[in-house]
Amino acid sequence: MNAPPSFESFLLFEGEKKIVVEQDTKVPNAAIFTVNKEDHTLGNMIRCQLLKDPNVLFAGYKQPHPLEHKFILRIQTTPTYSPQDALMHAITDLISELSLLEERFRVIFVYFKLLEKQI
């Protein structure tokens, strides 16, 4: 089979960085982030969160190849806001939203367990 070993999808190799940042020279106030050992799940979540920010002019991602476990995220912001700041705020907001989702899920789960016992 041509698929790489499954451990390559989540383990960083020696010297490999989780995120590599480079400035986009074609567009002002833009950066390209290569995120290793992640896929569309995280890429799309971050892109959607970035697009909620009024200081973000463009946010898009692509996965270079289906067998490569990385995605490339391109962010362009207003001149007063850096792409790195936009990414940090998006990740912080995502963590908050996911924590709230988990909390609400646990409450509803307990509620339905109690309902189940009453029936």
| Tokens at 23, concatenated | 């400035």
3-class DSSP state of 111: helix
CATH of residue 26:
3.30.1360.10
Per-residue pLDDT at 18:
94
Mean pLDDT split into 10-residue runs, the chain, 119 residues: 74 90 96 96 97 98 93 98 98 98 97 88
Per-residue pLDDT at 117:
86
Has residue 1 been placed in a domain? Answer: no
Range of the domain at 106: 6-117
Angstrom distance (rounded) from CA 119 to CA 103:
25
Has residue 77 been placed in a domain? Answer: yes
Per the structure, the count of domains in the chain is 1
Query: Please, what sign has the CA dihedral across residues 108, 110, 113, 119?
Result: negative
Q: pTM of the full predicted structure?
A: 0.86
90 backbone dihedrals φ, ψ, rounded to 5°: -65, -45
Per-residue pLDDT at 11:
80
